[in-house]
Structure 1
């Protein structure tokens, strides 16, 4: 290596220091990691085991909820005529009801306490053969009128079972009967044998009740035994019995008891516990193996550190050439002030960069001053101003952002085509831009633009070419909101009584929202599980207000309700009046859970509201149907029909509630 290409003294010192640091860091890392590995392994096992029991607890809670939903499906298929005619009910069963095959036994009783169906393992049995405990649970459900989940019935593992009950409510809100479903404890729908198999030889997964009865265990002979005799777990169960900690879904806790790691998580509905017990002595053997691997890894780090130093010596050669170039730049200035006092690399490079920076700073000041002037003018402009280049949005004024409902960051860099409802209109505007570029004239037109929320903005667009280069296609737009004039020409889109969008405006805006939702879906810009949610709202017993207080009171109630509804949803969507006492709310980019929360907020707010007319107070409620549109939905008619039907079911279920309906089949909907 020639003297000209030898690294300078500073680089050589840095290489030596780096080598020493790598050697020290490798040794220190191996020592620290080896000391901390036991704690890390223990912490990792605690997290893993806690997550595991939480997952199983949530799975069991989901199975309980699924069983209740299946039983609800059975109850929905039972009419009052079937309860009065056992032969009709038996005929329905002969036709085949898939939900019945989910349970090992199904019992149905009427409100007078008579058992009219006792289906055991798919066979009809006489009412007298019904177990006394199951009969008692059916009677309790009929008296309380609420769904129930029993405790463990039976004392033998093979005969242990759980019973789910659900009251059958007639249209008048009274309990007309009760249906019950029984699942064997170790059935696939509840606690199959595979659930108790351990993930490791040194670990056991156990499910038991709050009374200590074991429901699932790797050793089948331990099922229906008591958890107090389980090593490690018995002590944790006794501690829980003393503290009486409430059972909550999915939250796990882990403790170390007698060389055993015990994790527990609760399933509140049936009052069960899920526990994982692991022998921590196996952890020590794993730590020893990992300890040896850490030292081997440290030796590899040191070896690669030495190799890195050799590579660094080769990489530093361009720095020497850069040093020579910097020295030549400074010597070309010819002034003593520009020459460094030493020949060290930093001094030479700093001097050269200072010289280049001074030149760029002078040019940058001029450009920044011009940019600030332009930005100040646009920010104060009372009209919307947009600058585009080659059909791409480069800059928007504050007024333009407010008119379109977007922030500048959301639009800058996107194609201007995304703002136009009709791409044919955009083609017309683009043609006028090109003609203006060729003849040095401007362009003008009235176009329908799409706001962020999917609504229409009728705007007059005035434009001029910003530069003389036609190939750059740079243009300045001036936007003027002409929605009022457009409505005056084409008719009002507002409901005369409530000032909400009327049905025709609602349908037009809803179609535009679906088009935008499809575009966002194709661009993968929607959140997972999100879509456009539609809430169909109907006032309960509205005709009673007209009959009792008069139509003027009814109109006043509709006005006040519309104002409250618009205020409740204005931050998350928009509302419209479909006619009479029927309203709709549209929630863009919304999940099913979020739509249900918004609907519940509306329902509770209306329930708490008191309507006053001529000193007389009255309360009202609403029934709400919720449907989230599929990503490929094109026609709003089945969507609106599905939401209407969901609202109908909410009324049929007793009013003052919200119900969700899915659109899995658009044609059927």
Structure 2
């Protein structure tokens, strides 16, 4: 009984999943090991950073105290130098030579008057009277004007010729500053950090640098870097850039700065406002930690590999029936496999799943039988349909009717193997019709639109003819575009041609084939509209002269022939972009767009000459006509089309009154460019 209960417990998929989860927990050993080692490494690195920062702050404070001591040494010597002493070189020499401590603290000691003239200096070369002048040095001027001790920036010494830092002490009395006592620290012969760095803290890999507040190096193990920017030090370039970006803080409490593979700490030196930089490689601490981490990871990986192998073996044994079930399920819709056969023996959840899939297979047979019957009925309906029908999904034809095949001149096999994009005359129409149809479906409506389609081709050299079709579409499922779309296609080429013919007739004169008055007024009104962006334009109004005798003597047939000939003559005299219209009877009008007044008169002359050259023969009679032309230019103060047309009509009337066969411009406003009244008097 106990064995049976154990067997039943392992039959449960949940129990087997629990066993798998236990295996996964064991696999987590590696992750935990890695996390712990990373935490130890992080904490150790943090402690090292704090220790390095503390050391940088300590060094800065010691350096500050050392500089204060140097400054104090100068201040203690100040009272012993009176204004009278400055004028007695022997007394100055005696004073300096007795200051053994002062000379030992500085590389050089000098005394100068307030005007900058150096009176005496003592250094390694001895005590002497130099010819140097310091009155133009900023630190010297600041000492005189502010009457307080100062530190100079790192400079090239004028007295010694070496890079130095100068400490100054003003010599003062009741009247003010009368001189300066200065001490120079040679940066090449004296290490500023020599007396403040603990020997126990020294090692070959730790770099200590001192810079001024601008980042100029004043102390470096490599003297070739003195007075250069800290940006040239490879081990501090990144940290220096970060310090500059932070605003160059001189922080006595210290700051930590980023530098690849290095620990960088910096601290400000109170007083001279210098910066102490301390650099130490991270690898000094992390190397043993990395070795320990690698060893721990190797052991964890070995353990994980063993546990994974055992887990896979166990899972394979447990899930083998599930694998057999998967293989059978892949053929569940294959008619070569009987629906009730080939299923593996299994119990528990896998056994229940097997029974469900088996039932699905049986139901599939029933649904396929019904589907085949329904498909046969649908094919019968499609074959009798008078319109093209198609069912599409993912831009492919799934089902097409015989009528659609006839319209597209393609076989059913050709359509079913082709993309829906192939039927459009313009390949880009596929995306446009899909977008429009989708918008209609989202609004709960069917789609209707007219599109140009392409018929099939006989061979590769035949591009196929096109026709216009009305296409209607409805979604199989409005909420699921992947379900497909049902289309109906009707040839509307004849209706479209008739519609286009009606549209053309509505805008043209049936006799001359010119634009009619309505079309002319629509085009002209668009130029007058305030939003059209006005430019040069003109109207030429044409009234035929001596046309009545043509009708009276030759009849209406002769009159019609004359009107057709005049229309052709006008067309030959204007630009291709100009609009020629029959205004009515024997009157015509020309709309000149993008045409100034001078060009408008030139075109009017060409029209008059062309009309004057028109002649026809009817029943052994010779007929010809003339014309009177009025030109009206579009000016800013013409606000309506009626006003523009009225000016053209008035100009034409003046041409008639002047004896016909002439051209007149609008009498209200003749631009200077046209020659004024001279154009209105043009006569042909």
Place the TM-score, normalised by the shorter chain, in its bin.
Answer: 0.3 to 0.5
Q: What TM-score, normalized by structure 2, do the two folds share?
A: 0.34
